[in-house]
């Protein structure tokens, strides 16, 4: 006797957007848990900077801070606090004038950070640790004294001149190719030195590059300041590169200049500083970046989308060729790739003049301008062309996931109209199959049915709303749990609920943006993502207790996140759910508590439903486990197990 499947037919009120729902725990009193809706905001705790961008702000200082009139810390002379020089996410900077004659500079920069700021929860600011390692090295100002006075932690630093933002703003908001090329060369040498000590800056932008004081020997010297967002790319104890991760709710940096990886919450590495430098150079030369002007809560999302959708050719139009070549090189870097600074610096050889005539000193790059052969940034040391990993053309495709299984019967249907769903499903039931996955493309449905679900009974519900709240709650009361969901562009949904699962409690959320904060909250409560889908631009995510996973991560991108998937695979994760909108694709990767005998998993991206490819996979005992239709990219596959067709 085949498993019994019933079709839900009641139509209730539409589910409320941004609502999270849960049934009671199995065998417990049937009391529903109240879940407060969570709205994801990537750029939380932000502060406007001089360029109109936003920076991550760790500080929570008083609204009307009162600064001391005089400062003396760490054995320093007494300094009178004079005019304010600037303000950022990690404090405020003033001019300090020494009151009595003695050794050292008469004027210094005094940086104040309030003791109640989040960066000072455990004592002195984190930035102090970074300056202890980097202070005084090439291109980093020296900290002469530091200590606490009253409510403030204070650093006494070298007094410097105008920022590159100030210079650009006072030069008709444009800079010559030679000026910007000199900045590129010296910035790269400063970042190379910083990176060699194990740190990435994390907030490269015009405001954070300062020239030396005017009318001094250092007036053409470039400095990089504000190390409050610096992080380690290299583990201090092991000397190895830090581990890759992605937290889509974590943004660090300034929206205008941040790398795409920073927008997406990926662990910072050396490539991010270089991508931010590329945007900085293009801004200084052209005077504007295409993503300026966005406002509101979705600013970071829209800026990131624009960055991903703007080709290097378009972004660097009217710029000399080296600017485009530099951008192409740095956005193609892998997470742990070591930059070839010499090759990047060599790109600008043909633009900058003799050392004595350069508007910015390039002492940090000794060989620049000297006679040597041209280095091709497109090639590695073995002269093999370097693969461009983030320059694919955006496309709408099917993403299908295949797992190794013992031979079993599986069936698929695609381009199924609403009125034909019951016909295909009932025929599958008669043949001993149940639904393992549903999806949608162009308001038509795709069904995957097989004999290996392990479910005993199923019900399903087509609804014109995404998702049907009342019907889902009715089925929860009957001990059914959601096992697959799909949504269409017109807002309709298809929900499949089953008995015979291992789940003991379940919750779902519908959100206008990918609800990572809610997912992270539920992870801490013992839930894991077991199904997700999209309807237009809205996301639906289902999470369950006792899902059989020991750990779970998210890969979210505006293109197919190939590098992240391969890194997760290498660490034992396997894709267990996927969904995509017209803007983003998301994949859930999990580590099962019970490892399968064969952990082989392959992915496929196709413009059409992969009907012919599915049959080829079946011949290798690889069966469809999940699929979705949405934003990916047309690009050469990274490996034979991650195919693009």
DSSP SS3 for 481:
strand
Is the pLDDT assigned to residue 38 strictly greater than 50? Answer: no
Burial class, 298, CB count within 10 angstroms (exposed 0-12 / middle 13-18 / buried 19+): middle
* Domains of the chain as residue ranges with CATH: 70-158 (3.30.200.20), 162-367 (1.10.510.10), 409-594 (no CATH)
pLDDT the model gives residue 117: 86
User: Using one digit for the tens of pLDDT, what is the confidence trace for 18-33?
Assistant: 445 655 554 444 333 3
617 is in an annotated binding site: no
| Residue pair 400/604 in contact by the 8 Å Cβ criterion | yes
pLDDT the model gives residue 44: 28
Tell whether omega for the bond before 514 is within 30 degrees of 0, i.e. cis: no
Using the structure block, give the residue that is written with the tokens 């709205």.
Answer: 39
**Range with the lowest mean pLDDT among 56-65, 212-221, 514-523?**
56-65
Catalogue the active-site residues.
203
DSSP SS3 for 534:
strand
Where in 251-382 does DSSP place strands (E)? none
DSSP annotation of 246: B
pLDDT band at 379 (very low <50, low <70, confident <90, very high): low
User: Using one digit for the tens of pLDDT, what is the confidence trace for 322-359?
Assistant: 999 999 999 999 999 999 999 999 999 999 988 888 99
- Written as one string, the DSSP assignment of 413-475 is EEEE-GGGHHHHHHHHHHTT-EEEEEEEETTEEEEEEES-S--SEEEEEEESSSS-HHHHHHH
pLDDT the model gives residue 49: 47
Is the pLDDT assigned to residue 231 strictly greater than 90? Answer: yes
Q: CA-CA distance, 61 to 69, in Å (whole number)?
A: 18
Mean pLDDT: which of 140-144, 364-368, 483-487 is highest? 483-487
DSSP H or E run through 48: strand 46-48
User: Using one digit for the tens of pLDDT, what is the confidence trace for 248-258?
Assistant: 999 999 999 99
**Nearest partner of 262 among 202, 321, 324, judged by Cα:** 202
pLDDT the model gives residue 136: 84
pLDDT the model gives residue 388: 58
CB atoms under 10 Å from CB of 509, counted, come to 23
Is the pLDDT assigned to residue 3 strictly greater than 60? Answer: no
Is the pLDDT assigned to residue 530 strictly greater than 90? Answer: yes
Which residues, 6 or more positions from 384, have their beta carbon under 8 angstroms from its beta carbon?
A: none
DSSP SS3 for 84:
strand
- As a whole number, mean pLDDT of residues 103-131 equals 88
* Partners of 404 in beta bridges: 622
Tally of residues, the chain: 645
**Range with the lowest mean pLDDT among 80-94, 430-444, 545-559?**
80-94
pLDDT the model gives residue 375: 52
| Residue pair 600/403 in contact by the 8 Å Cβ criterion | yes
Q: Tell me the two tokens of residue 280.
A: 């900085």
Q: CA-CA distance, 374 to 90, in Å (whole number)?
A: 42
pLDDT band at 87 (very low <50, low <70, confident <90, very high): confident
Burial class, 166, CB count within 10 angstroms (exposed 0-12 / middle 13-18 / buried 19+): middle
DSSP annotation of 385: B
């Amino acid at each position: 006797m085949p498993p019994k499947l019933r079709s839900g037919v009641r139509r209730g009120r539409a589910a409320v957007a941004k609502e999270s729902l849960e049934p009671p725990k199995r065998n417990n009193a049937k009391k529903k848990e109240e879940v407060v809706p969570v709205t994801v905001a990537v750029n939380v705790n932000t502060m406007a900077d001089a360029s109109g961008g936003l920076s991550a702000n760790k500080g929570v200082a008083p609204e009307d801070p009162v600064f001391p009139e005089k400062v003396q810390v760490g054995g320093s002379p007494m300094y009178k606090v004079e005019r304010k020089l600037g303000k950022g996410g990690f404090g405020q900077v003033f001019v300090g004038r020494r009151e009595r004659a003695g050794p050292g500079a008469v004027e210094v920069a005094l940086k104040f950070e309030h003791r109640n700021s989040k960066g000072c929860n455990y004592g002195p600011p984190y930035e102090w640790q970074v300056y202890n390692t980097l202070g005084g090295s090439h291109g980093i100002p020296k900290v002469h004294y530091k200590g606490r006075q009253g409510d403030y932690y204070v650093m006494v630093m070298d007094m410097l001149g105008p920022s590159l933002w100030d210079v650009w703003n006072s030069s008709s908001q444009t800079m010559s190719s030679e000026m910007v090329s000199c900045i590129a060369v010296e910035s790269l040498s400063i970042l190379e030195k910083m990176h060699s000590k194990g740190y990435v800056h994390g907030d490269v932008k015009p405001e954070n590059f300062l020239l030396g004081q005017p009318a001094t020997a250092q007036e053409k010297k470039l400095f990089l300041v504000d190390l409050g967002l610096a992080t380690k790319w290299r583990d201090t104890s092991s000397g190895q590169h830090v581990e890759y991760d992605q937290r889509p709710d974590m943004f660090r940096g300034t929206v205008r200049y941040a790398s795409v990886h920073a927008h997406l919450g990926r662990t910072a590495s050396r490539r991010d500083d270089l991508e931010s430098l590329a945007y900085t150079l293009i801004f200084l030369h052209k005077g504007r970046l295409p993503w300026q002007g966005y406002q509101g809560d979705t600013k970071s999302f829209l800026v990131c989308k624009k960055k991903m959708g703007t080709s290097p050719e378009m972004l660097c139009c009217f710029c000399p060729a080296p600017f485009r070549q530099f951008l192409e090189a740095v956005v193609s870097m892998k997470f742990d790739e070591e930059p070839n600074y010499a090759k990047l610096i060599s790109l600008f050889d043909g633009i900058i003049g003799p050392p004595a005539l350069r508007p910015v000193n390039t002492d940090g790059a000794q060989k620049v301008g000297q006679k040597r052969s041209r280095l091709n940034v497109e090639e590695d040391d073995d002269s093999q062309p370097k693969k461009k990993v983030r320059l694919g053309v955006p496309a709408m495709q099917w993403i299908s996931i295949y797992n190794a299984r013992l031979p079993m019967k599986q069936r698929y249907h695609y381009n199924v109209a609403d009125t034909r769903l019951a016909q295909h499903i009932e025929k599958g039931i008669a043949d001993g199959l149940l639904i393992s996955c549903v999806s949608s493309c162009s308001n038509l449905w795709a069904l995957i049915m097989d004999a290996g679900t392990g479910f005993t009974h199923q019900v399903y519900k087509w609804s014109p709303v995404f998702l049907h709240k009342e019907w889902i709650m009715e089925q929860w009361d009957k001990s059914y749990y959601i096992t697959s969901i799909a949504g269409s562009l017109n807002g309709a949904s298809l929900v499949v609920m089953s008995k015979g699962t291992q789940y003991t409690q379940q919750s779902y959320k519908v959100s206008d943006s990918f609800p990572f904060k809610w997912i992270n909250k539920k992870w801490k409560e013992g839930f894991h993502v077991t199904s997700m889908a999209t309807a237009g631009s809205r996301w639906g995510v289902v999470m369950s207790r006792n899902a059989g996973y020991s750990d779970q991560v998210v890969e979210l991108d505006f293109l197919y996140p190939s590098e992240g998937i391969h890194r997760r695979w290498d660490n034992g994760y396997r894709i267990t759910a996927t969904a995509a909108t017209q803007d983003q694709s998301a994949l859930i990767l999990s580590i099962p508590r019970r490892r399968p005998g064969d952990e082989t998993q392959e992915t496929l991206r196709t413009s059409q439903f992969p009907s012919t490819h599915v049959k080829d996979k079946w011949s290798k005992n690889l069966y469809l486990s999940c699929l979705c239709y949405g934003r990916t990219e047309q690009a050469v596959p990274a490996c034979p197990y991650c195919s693009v067709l």
